[in-house]
Amino acid sequence: MNDIRASSSTLSGAPSLTMSKPSLNNSKASLTHSRQSMNVSDGEERPPTREELIAEFLDKAKFYTSLCLGTTAILSVFAFLFLIPFVVDPAISTIVADYDPVPVTCVVTDHVYAEGMRNCTWSSCREGCTTAAIRCHQLLVNYTKIAFHEWHKHPRDLDSIEWDVMDTKFLVNTEGCGYPPRVNCSEFAKQYGYSHVGEPFPCYYSRAYPEIVVARYSWDDNLKHLILSLIIPNVLFAVSIGVLSYWYCPCCDKACHKSPRVYAEKYPTKENKLLCRSDDEEDELDY
């Protein structure tokens, strides 16, 4: 009887096992479907977020800004080296010469136009300060320290004037050279030489070197050109190198972001010392 009951119980339990197999198959199918859907979702590109777009834009802006700053630093160095012989040195020479800002009266006594390097040992005007003069205008002048505006108001006889310096070289500027259109030697010769020999005109003499006489001088312009040629290239170079160092130099970054309390916190303050002393005294009293 017991065997019959056991067999009947096994038979009654068999359908339940067979019924559980389809449920397992369904769960497996759902798992495979979910895995496939996950694989499909992983294969698709996720659109970037707003923060990622901003970070990408900032990286590109930093790269191009760094490129511009590096180029600016290099160009500022070359510009400063170029300005030294053409602007800085003549401006300093003009300051050292100490020209009288009030124009005095000059008269051209001789004008010679020469050609060839042997004949052009010096020139009143030369277009280009780095090349030797092949054609030159040589002008000699007499000058008196009488201000030209006084001479213009009260003209005097040239033969009765006692000239302070006679037959000295007359230059277009301190260096005696320049570049067009600021310096045009043909116009300079037409203005002061040829048919204008013997006519009074304003000029500037050097108080440090009285034998130097120039046609053009302005203290304000000379100082302005000197300051600009010194400040602009150096400021551009310093700003460019400073920004690049702040961005890419680890030492500069650490120094800029260092907390000022790091060193201060190593040592106790007066208040902490007083509190410690009071605590020690209380402990001694308790004992």
Q: Mind listing the pLDDT tens digit for each residue in 141-168?
A: 999 999 999 998 888 888 888 899 999 9
The sign of the CA dihedral 135, 140, 145, 149 is negative
Candidates 246, 245, 226, 270; CA nearest to 80 is 226
In this prediction, what percent of the chain has a pLDDT beyond 70?
72
Residue 20: pLDDT above 50? no
Which of 245, 263, 257, 208 is CA-nearest to residue 98? 208
Query: Rounded to two decimals, what is the model's pTM?
Result: 0.65
Question: Would you state the structure tokens that stand for residue 177, as one six-digit string?
Answer: 């050279």
**pLDDT > 50? residue 41:** no
pLDDT the model gives residue 277: 64
Which has more pLDDT, 254 or 115?
Answer: 115
Predicted pLDDT of residue 287: 52
Question: Do residues 169 and 213 make contact, with C-beta atoms less than 8 angstroms apart?
Answer: yes
As a dihedral over the C-alpha atoms of residue 100, residue 106, residue 112, residue 117, rounded to 10 degrees, the angle is 0
Average pLDDT of the chain to the nearest whole number? 80
What's the DSSP call for residue 84? I
Average pLDDT over residues 18-47: 50
